[in-house]
A and B are shown apart, each in its own frame.
Chain A
């Protein structure tokens, strides 16, 4: 199981272009769809927790999933901690290797036409990845009734108006407490 977690998060680190949200569909596919380590609503909760705690989403989910996946499988807390350490390290290894190579060989990578060429399609594609993360989370687990859609709409508008996301999460938590 540790090996499977390690490989999954190595993949997530290696193909995690475009930072946090763009990694979400990949993480969801690996840990929810393929391995079934956690449920969709657990996954959404992790994203929520990531948004309210410091640190990048990729690490947060790696740490959290490493722990929950191992303990859900019936192992102890200590083994869960080991699991989260393994996932966190696995997700960092590709960055470490690639950035070390970048530092050693191509400092002028920025102006490299090949890199620019590969990014020309990848950048818009990353927007699509983020959109698909939102679409995949719009399911019956997260949207239980019309009230969910009201919260969704309100937060959407507030967020476009640049209201602090942490405040919005706290407020919607309060709303959930009152409405349900």
Chain B
């Protein structure tokens, strides 16, 4: 048991840690293996100079210190972990609280925080992630948040980033909902909203041109958005079917092209 041999007054070996905090006023009498009762026995046999009782007391003290220190280490590592989760939460809480107008408006801010400031993701990684976040269902901002959280601290991390991005709008909207249901029938509020409602429709319609361009709508596939819009608007077809059919058509077209190039 070379490791558990007893050394006197060599603080460096105490507890088996190097450079840990060294409490003064104690005579250090052991190494990390102190918990073994055999070590205590060997203490007594090897160092008869010290009265056994005193040795016993001192070794107990040392054991308590070992436990204290490991508790401290556990606590501090816990704290640093909590801090990391808290940081994830906070960054996305900030993004959620200060971006108006939804997903696309959030992207530059997310990039600044995640890539430039925190360096959690590289630039390429961020672009890849964005492409994925846009091609799977769900709000883009939430998808991004979940991705970053997952990359940093796994599934639990993604719960924190997700909560961070959701909470600000949840709180704000809930307050508005509670207040607004009371004022809704107020005449002044009604007049204000009579003005706002057509503006909302315009704000939805106005970005269509730009969005269309970035989605790759050209003359040869212009029929797709037109057919989609008309079938939902006039024929009242569920958007769910539209989405499923679009995915299916895309895959069929890809298969068709593949077969054609093979021949």
Given the interface pairs A15-B243, A124-B221, A124-B225, the reply to whether A59 lies near B139 with Cβ below 8 Å is yes
Q: Identify which of A80, A92, A113 contacts B254 (C-beta below 8 A).
A: A113
The answer to the question of B40 belonging to the interface, with a C-beta cut-off of 8 Å to chain A, is no
Counting contact residues on chain B (CB < 8 A from A), the size range is 35 or more
The answer to the question of B18 belonging to the interface, with a C-beta cut-off of 8 Å to chain A, is no
In the bound complex, CA of A24 to CA of B208 (Å): 14
Flag if A99 contacts B229 (CB, 8 Å): no
Flag if B232 contacts A92 (CB, 8 Å): no
As a 0/1 sequence over residues 118 to 162 of chain A, the CB contacts with chain B under 8 angstroms (1 = contact) are 111111111111111111111001111000110111011001100
The answer to the question of A17 belonging to the interface, with a C-beta cut-off of 8 Å to chain B, is yes
Q: Identify which of B180, B195, B201 contacts A180 (C-beta below 8 A).
A: B195
In the bound complex, CA of A23 to CA of B242 (Å): 12
CB distance from B171 to the nearest CB of A (A): 9
Task: Report the nearest B residue to A25, measured CB to CB.
Answer: B239
Q: Identify which of A98, A107, A134, A151 contacts B138 (C-beta below 8 A).
A: A98
Q: Which residues of A contact B (CB under 8 A)?
A: 11, 13-21, 23-26, 29, 33, 41, 44-45, 47-60, 63-64, 67-68, 71, 77, 80-81, 84-85, 88, 91-92, 94-96, 98-100, 102-103, 107, 109-110, 113-138, 141-144, 148-149, 151-153, 155-156, 159-160, 165-166, 168-169, 172-177, 179-180
A-B contact pairs, 20 of them (CB 8 A): A15-B243, A17-B135, A19-B134, A33-B236, A41-B197, A53-B169, A55-B168, A58-B139, A68-B177, A100-B155, A124-B215, A125-B224, A127-B215, A131-B228, A132-B230, A137-B200, A152-B199, A160-B209, A165-B100, A173-B192
Q: Which residues of B contact A (CB under 8 A)?
A: 96-104, 106, 128, 131-143, 146-147, 150-151, 155, 158-159, 162, 165-166, 168-170, 172-174, 176-178, 180-181, 188, 191-209, 211-212, 215-217, 221-222, 224-230, 232-233, 236, 238-240, 242-243, 246-247, 249-251, 253-255
